[in-house]
Structure 1
Amino acid sequence: MNVSSSRKIPRILSSELYKLVTLPSIWITLISTFVANLFFVAAFTSASTNVLGTAGTQSSLHIGLSSMVYLQAGFIILGTLATCSEYAGGQIRTTLTTVPWRGLQLTMKHVALGILTIPAAFIIVTCSMLYPLFILRETTVVVQLETIIESLVGATGYLTFTTLLSAALGAMLRRTTSTLVMLLTYYYVLSPLSRDVIPRIRDYFPDTAGLYMYIPPSSDVVNGFTPIQGAGISTLWTLTFITLAILLFAKRDA
């Protein structure tokens, strides 16, 4: 109990990271997400060629990012499993017995999840961009390397924020099914329905703000925010949910 903070934080972080990388459902989710995303990218690439004869005015970057709306579902599941899995079999009691500092424990869980999510998201998004680039390299519009890098970083950041926000909500609800129902309903039903009802307010929603982080400048989407502004709003949403999760976690029984 008298362990110094300089030793406490690395130990808790390594413990949370170890729990995540040894959880089978985490790897099943990541692998399934990777495979499903390649399927969607291949389908979009094939469709763009079949419909237009060539990719026309579309760039490989636009085609590669077309799967993001489906790709985010895998990372929503990833974040939910990361925090809800400990409640399924009561493992959270063992965790709190060994790590009684609740706020620090949940904070380090989110940090560990971020460490795992960033490279996973980066690899999956990179593959999304590379596939149409190689398949349609002679028919698509040339995109500057700087634009590709900006979209890659933005998409990776958006998926990371989505994962952490999902984990925070999972920590609050403590139930995998209810958390997924709430998140998927928002991302795939409520948010799209609000597009024409409250268009300007919707720009401040976490999914729309995140869209501005990676959408190419020449996209059909009218950019209401710059990538930096979108990242700032997404960061604020994520930190708000994590803070609420920590406060609630510290106040209630396991």
Structure 2
Amino acid sequence: MRAFNAEMSKLFSLPSIWLACFIGAFAPAIFAGLDSLAEKEDIIAGVSTRLAEVGYVGLGFGVQGVIILGVLAVSSEYFIESSESGGGRQITTSLSAVPSRLHFLLAKAGAVTAISLLLCIMAIVTIVLSTKLILGEYAPTFEWFRLFGAVCYWVFTALIAFGLTVLTKNSIIPLTILMINSSVVSFSILLAKVTTLAVYLPDRAGIDMFMSMSDRYHTPLTGGLVMFTWVVVLMIVAAVVFHRRDVAS
């Protein structure tokens, strides 16, 4: 518990973490609001085919906040400190305080999970308020099981970002890949044109937990299990690599 509290404290001491929190908590409401405005006339007229998705779109795009969170949680350990501080890295100090590398990773992953959970709940609240403000009585009814799926999607995505950063010891690669994949173009959608196996990629399977798309392949439960499997495998690989790695390298 002491290690977990220490990791929470370290995360909230990072200036960039507040940007991640802002994006995670409020960007989804902006996307949901814009989507509500675009669909408002059709919804009021009763001809919209996307009423059930209004709001959930924001949860799909707003996941960038927890991606930044997952990457920062690890990459911040490898920042080189100023010469006044000895020019070392935080990771050396962290492992001196928590000698067990597995315990260290679990505490850090726990902190990422807790903050991701909190951010998603805040995002859901702001989305509900945003859609109610714009659509009024025509606002969609948010179903608890889909919201739960969105929460899982956010937490799993944050842990995937976390695991990839442990493997790369670098923020640029996982941040670039995951941010582009979640906002600009989905690599799994492109790969799906080549092979149906692409529907088992984590982002594609995970989105089925809360979005009812026309090309939906998985049930929410199956999509969640597929994404969870990816998370477990990636975290195991990351833990093994981190255990064997020379921190100074």
The interval holding the TM-score normalised by the smaller chain is 0.7 to 0.9
| Native 8 Å contact 1:54 1:139 kept in 2 | no
The equivalent residue for 1:253 is: 246
**Correspondence for 1:201:** 197
What SS is found at the alignment partner of 1:113? helix
Number of aligned residue pairs = 237
Q: Deviations over 1:48-82 (max 9, x none)?
A: 12567646334654110122332122221121111
Give the corresponding residue for 1:167.
162
Residues 1:135 and 2:126 aligned together: no
Query: Per-residue deviation at 1:202?
Result: 1.9
The structure 2 residue matched to 1:46, chosen from 34, 37, 40, is 37
Give unpaired runs (5+ residues) of structure 2.
81-88
TM-score (structure 2 length as normaliser): 0.85
CA distance 1:119–1:239, shift in 2 (3 Å):
same
Give 4+ residue runs of structure 1 displaced > 6 Å after superposition: none
Conserved? CA contact 2:42–2:48, under 8 Å = no
Tell me the equivalent position of 1:65.
56
Counterpart for residue 226 of structure 1: 219
Give distance in 2, aligned partners of 1:120 and 1:84.
20
Q: Secondary structure at the match of 1:194?
A: helix
Q: Is the 1:107–1:246 contact (alpha carbons within 8 Å) kept by the matching residues of 2?
A: no
Q: TM-score when scaled to structure 1?
A: 0.84
The one-letter code of the counterpart of 2:66 is F
Number of the residue aligned with 1:107:
106
Distance change >3 Å, CA 78–CA 61, structure 1 → 2: farther
- The alignment yields a C-alpha RMSD, in angstroms, of 2.2
Give a deviation string over 1:158-210, Cα, whole Å, max 9, x none: 01100011011111111111221232354434223123222x31221101111
Counterpart position of 1:85: 76
Task: For 2:204 and 2:197, locate their aligned partners in 1 and report how far apart those are by CA, in whole Å.
Answer: 10
Q: Matched residues in 2 for 1:201 and 1:68: separation? A: 25
Q: Does structure 2 conserve the Cα–Cα contact (< 8 Å) formed by 1:45 and 1:132?
A: yes
